[in-house]
Amino acid sequence: MKKLVYDFSEGDKDQKDLLGGKGANLAEMTRLGLPVPPGFIITTEACRHYLKSGRQPDDLRVQVTMALRSLEDQVGRRLGDSHDPLLVSVRSGAKFSMPGMMETVLNVGLNDFSLQGLIEASGDERFVWDSYRRLIQMFGKTVLGIDGEAFSHALDATKSRKGVKSDVELDIDDLRGLVDEFKVIVKDHTGRDFPQDPRLQLDLATRAVFDSWNTERARLYRRRERIPHDLGTAVSVCTMVFGNLGDSSGTGVCFTRDPATGVPGVYGDYLVNAQGEDVVSGIRNTLSLEDFAEVDPASYKQLRQIMRRLETHYRDLCDIEFTVERGKLWMLQTRVGKRTAAAAFRISTQLVDEQLITMDEALQRVTGAQLAQLMFPQFDVRAERVLLTRGMAASPGAAVGRVVFDSAAAVAWAARGERVLLVRRETNPEDLGGMIAAGGILTSRGGKTSHAAVVARGMGKTAVCGADALDVDAAAKVATAGGVTINEGDLLSIDGSTGEVFVGEIPVVPSPVVLYLEQGLDVALEGVDEGGADVVRAVHRLLEHADSVRRMRVRANADNAEDADRARRMGAEGIGLCRTEHMFLGDRRVLIERVILADTAAERATALEALLPHQRADFEELLTAMDGLPTTIRLLDPPLHEFLPDRADLMVEVALAEADGGAPPERVRLLAAVNRLHETNPMLGLRGVRLGLTVPGLFALQVRAIAEATAALKAAGGNPLPEIMVPLVGSVMELHLIRDETDAILAEVRESTGVDLVIPVGTMIELPRAALTAFRIAEVAQFFSFGTNDLTQTTWGFSRDDVEAAFFASYLEKGVFTMSPFESLDVDGVGRLVDIASREGRGARPDLKLGICGEHGGDPESIHFFERTGLDYVSCSPFRVPIARLEAGRAVTGAREDDRSDDDEIKRG
């Protein structure tokens, strides 16, 4: 019998694959001797079997019975017994944290019979009726699929009749009446009575948790977080402890450090006389942990000790859920807490200074995506502003947008290009689509541990929560605060670092992190508060460490001296791609037109000669900006028609002119050239190396300009290091022909100037054939640069401009992609071609230099693949250079950590 159920005492934190994050950490806390209610875990293997076959494994019912009886023996109570019954919670828990995305059912085992036994055992009839109405409400929504609004409306109506605002103000008779109403709702919606069999409740709740793995919101969250869809969830079945047993009871969530800022201290929320979902849902505004210390000093002191112990044990920020039952503290969950980008950098360096982790480990605690968030602009503190209200600073950043009051509107407005802010009383998991679409989130209820706050921090979204002066009426699409009315479509600005909400749009200024990267640490620290200064210092330390350990170099894609200068300030160690076609735009378009329109070789030579001084000057500026650093210059790549007027527009112009008495001859001639060069699929037509071989003198012009610029700079004492890159090569013979022409020109310039010119010549690998024949191409090329944008297009057979809008959304929805292959490298397909070309290219030429200059050069996940493949450098946009530096370092330290884990596994084995 395959083991599918584990007691809490049988697992540990390293079994997340099998027991899920929640189950593994409950087992770990049990192992540490912390006060954890007893329970057991149904494994992810059982879930995967259920999801694949549509039924639970045959052995599961028996193993659950054995585990349940063992639990009953341990606590001295039986599930749903009529005398002092055992009640349990049934909670999801995947390997990776997915807060609020899957289901939980509390108070399982309570029914019309066990209700009386619980009243006798607890001596608190109100608590029992409150627990029963919670079970029916949660079970009805989660397990039976009833719209939660049916229960919410009944609850709100009861409070309205009673004239109260809070659930805790309802008395026994009110709650008894609600139970009866809720039962009617269940019967009306399902045609069946609420199930009274405790074991049936447990089995149905377990199945509902399994099913919740594939809800739309769960799949949407996994797509965003790049979590595989085939992992499944474990189910934790835990003895219920009750925070709703009066004023000596309560429930809370805490963090060992502030997850929004990283500041050490006590952070969390607590609710007296409540169950866990009350805190997370944000339906009641919470007390702080300082308030908890006054309400229950003994439990608070014990909690602080446990917080310190868990943070030391996990060596990281911990997110903890707890309940106090009549003065007894119970630990219900812990996990490494989600945090904002600022908190991630700050906490990682704090833990180094506290000697809990190494700098290598600190580098693994931050990501390039988080660094990118820190580089976004912030509100200008000098700008005029009109304060609307304040809430809790739940997730930092500056967000401006038009107000919408529901998730569907946020998605629709964002789809048409609007910046939106999602404004709600509180969010719930059904709002995930709108939260992703919105630039920021504002709620009138909830605290730093509410659903809105936790999910926003995980996604890097700006959020302000618990702005209780804000009265939100989602149905009427209006909110009011301090006499000011905000309608749907009005502009608001929210500051997730201060909790402030402003009317209208506030201008933004560069982030201190960008100032540091471009102008240095001293400039960045001027006028920044201590928290911001700590973040900048943390970024500085971790980037320096990344630079010290990384193997791959980081270059930038830059087409002019201005971009090159900025890239160099950002830490670029060269240029990996200079697109020379950008040099022919604007006023120079007429010069390239003359090349295209030339009827004779003499006319073409004259036109090319006119371009030479412009190209030479371009390259002198670029090579001066990158003096001493390698600069890869790609010869002309796009089809020539891109330099000519639009064909349809020109046809209309000429036709109208002909009808009006005759078109100018030069426009007729231009139209003829445009028609001659027109292609059905130009991206696979006359472009790249094919231009150099079919338009005499075109590549020769560019090579000569590079050579003469290099010679002039070297003669003046400079150290230019150009590299010539030939695009779209598919055959080694193509490169041979261009290489012969290039070598002849370099020799000629070397002879005429007396300057020794050593300029490497290489090629872009952007066609599958080039990758598969790399062993031949490497005999001629001195370097390869993988053009992964075109390599992705030609491998998949995609025309990027067409397919992204046509069907990528559908492919993501159906799971064909988990991520667009243009955003993160398709490792299995395109990545395999990169690997083949790298290995076989170096087999033919051991000193072959390898780089990548597509957009994937700045993608964190792709960078780790390039490290494993052995590339020498990545090249990306100047703004992403710091991100690539960080990730190149993380790729090295991550590999070290993997090696250590493998060694530990061998030792354990």
* Residues taking part in catalysis: 451, 853
Q: Which is nearest to 382 in space by CA: 507, 500, 492?
A: 507
Phi/psi for 257 (5° steps) reads -150, 165
C-beta of residue 722 within 8 angstroms of C-beta of residue 706: yes
3-state secondary structure of 165: coil
Q: Is 480 exposed, middle or buried (0-12, 13-18, 19+ CB in 10 A)?
A: middle
Which residues, 6+ apart, have CB-to-CB distance to 217 below 8 Å? 101, 429, 430, 432, 433
C-alpha span between 361 and 383 (Å, rounded): 40
Q: How far apart are CA 494 and CA 278, in angstroms?
A: 25
**Token match 């017994």: residue?**
81
Helix (H) or strand (E) holding 809: helix 808-814
C-alpha distance across the termini of the chain, in Å: 23
- What whole-number distance in Å separates Cα of residue 81 and Cα of residue 196? 12
User: What residues contact 382, with CB distance under 8 A and at least 6 apart?
Assistant: none
Listed in sequence order, the DSSP H helices in 110-244 are 114-122, 125-142, 148-162, 172-190, 198-212, 216-225
Q: Considering only CA atoms, which of 111, 182, 87 is closest in space to residue 140? A: 182
- Report which residue type is found at 665: P
Q: Quote the Cα angle for 609-610-615, to 5°.
A: 90
Report the distance separating Cα 232 and Cα 213, nearest Å: 6
What is the widest separation between alpha-carbon atoms in the chain? Answer: 106
The pair of structure tokens assigned to 460 is 């890097």
Q: Could you tell me which residues are beta bridge partners of residue 508?
A: 379
Per the DSSP assignment, residues forming a β-bridge with 486 are: 479
Q: Are β-strands 630-634 and 575-579 bridged in parallel, bridged antiparallel, or unpaired?
A: parallel
CA distances from 309 to 24, 256, 296, 304, 359 (A): 17, 10, 20, 9, 22
Distance CA 346, CA 865 (A): 27
In the numeric block, which tokens belong to residue 510?
Answer: 């560069």
- Contact 47/92 with Cβ under 8 angstroms? no
What pairs with residue 287 in β-bridges?
A: 270
CA distance 424 to 516: 36
Burial of 1 per CB tally in 10 Å (0-12, 13-18, 19+)? exposed
CA angle 355, 356, 358 (to 5 degrees): 75
